[in-house]
């Protein structure tokens, strides 16, 4: 492999770490540009989507285009932060290609800094707080604490089995909302809408939505931005279906 191609591959690897772990397309492309600038390579242009990136190189007056697949996005902002920091180091000329390639492999293996108990507690608090935000009572707060914790535990197990985002969202929405319906059956809360909505609040796709608006607002990444927003709207629809199923059980 020629040195120029190796530099491009490393640059793409760093950028894809950002795209595949919750970063915006704007940041991923900035990381790619910084890495290439550090290597002294400016002969690459890119076209981003959420599922692949097409890149065109110019060498000896000839253009060639290739594609790299982008894996379904997870959320590990530690990896995004580390990849961004690595790109900055390369841009300053303090890291060579070999060291950068080794560092990328290390970043890809970084686990989330948040273990299962922390995510379960965070989801419980998020769901309960969301129920209050939309007008719930303290009974609904308690119900949503339970639904958020149970739903996040189920969600983590499904994700561990590599289930896709859409079925995971629908299953967890139905589980959480139906548990909330049981609480409403028991008259723990008298505010039905806020309790049911809050029960799935921990799954609101805020990050994809924010990244989508960032991409669209840049005017350069309209395609991935619209894709991200569309994906978030689809997930909101699945949450609404889960709420509707549970609402049919409430007397």
Distance CA 200, CA 130 (A): 9
Under 8 Å between Cβ of 180 and 195? yes
Q: Are strands 52-59 and 62-69 parallel, antiparallel or unpaired?
A: antiparallel
b/e per residue 138-150 (b: at least 16 CB within 10 A): ebbbbbbbbbbbb
Give mean pLDDT in consecutive 10-residue pieces for the chain, a chain of 251 residues: 80 95 94 90 84 83 83 90 96 90 95 91 96 95 97 95 92 97 95 96 93 92 94 96 94 76
What is the largest distance, in Å, between two alpha-carbon atoms of the chain? Answer: 75
Query: Residue 60 has what pLDDT?
Result: 67
Query: Residue 83 has what pLDDT?
Result: 97
Distances (CA, A) of 150 to 10, 119, 143, 236: 41, 11, 11, 20
Query: Residue 72 has what pLDDT?
Result: 85
Is the sign of the CA dihedral 157, 160, 162, 164 positive or negative? positive
3-state per-residue secondary structure call for the chain = CCHHHHHHHHHHHHHHHHHCCCCCHHHHHHHHHHHHHHHCCCCEEEEECCCEEEEEEEECCEEEEEEEECCCCCCCHHHHHHHHHHHHHHHCCCCCHHHHHHHHHHHHCCCCCCCHHHHHHHHHHHHHHHHHHCCCCHHHHHHHHHHHHHHHHHHHHHHHCCCCHHHHHHHHHHHHHHHHHHHHHCCCCCCHHHHHHHHCHHHCCHHHHHHHHHHHHHCCCHHHHHHHHHHHHHHHHHHHHHHHHHHCCCC
Query: Residue 73 has what pLDDT?
Result: 78
Query: Residue 44 has what pLDDT?
Result: 81
Query: Residue 234 has what pLDDT?
Result: 96
């Amino acid at each position: 492999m020629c040195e120029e191609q190796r530099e491009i591959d490393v640059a793409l690897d760093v950028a894809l770490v950002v795209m595949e772990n919750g970063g915006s397309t704007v940041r991923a492309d900035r990381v790619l540009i910084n890495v290439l600038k550090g290597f002294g390579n400016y002969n690459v242009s890119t076209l981003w989507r959420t599922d692949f990136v097409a890149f065109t190189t110019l060498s000896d007056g000839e253009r060639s285009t290739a594609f790299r697949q982008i894996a379904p996005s997870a959320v590990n902002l530690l990896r995004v932060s580390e990849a961004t920091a690595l790109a900055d180091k390369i841009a300053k000329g303090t890291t060579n290609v070999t060291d950068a390639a080794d560092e990328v492999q290390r970043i890809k293996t970084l686990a989330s800094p948040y273990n299962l108990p922390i995510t379960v507690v965070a989801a419980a608090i998020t769901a309960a707080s969301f129920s209050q935000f939309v007008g719930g009572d303290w009974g609904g707060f308690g119900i949503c604490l339970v639904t958020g914790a149970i739903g996040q535990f189920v969600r983590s197990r499904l994700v561990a089995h590599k289930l896709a985002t859409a079925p995971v969202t629908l299953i967890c929405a139905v589980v959480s909302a139906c548990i909330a319906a049981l609480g409403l059956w028991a008259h723990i809360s008298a505010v039905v809408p806020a309790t049911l909505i809050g029960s799935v609040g921990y799954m609101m796709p805020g990050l994809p939505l924010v990244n989508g608006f960032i991409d669209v607002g840049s005017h350069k990444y309209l395609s991935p931005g619209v894709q991200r927003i569309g994906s978030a709207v689809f997930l909101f629809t699945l949450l609404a279906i889960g709420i509707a199923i549970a609402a049919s059980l409430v007397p």
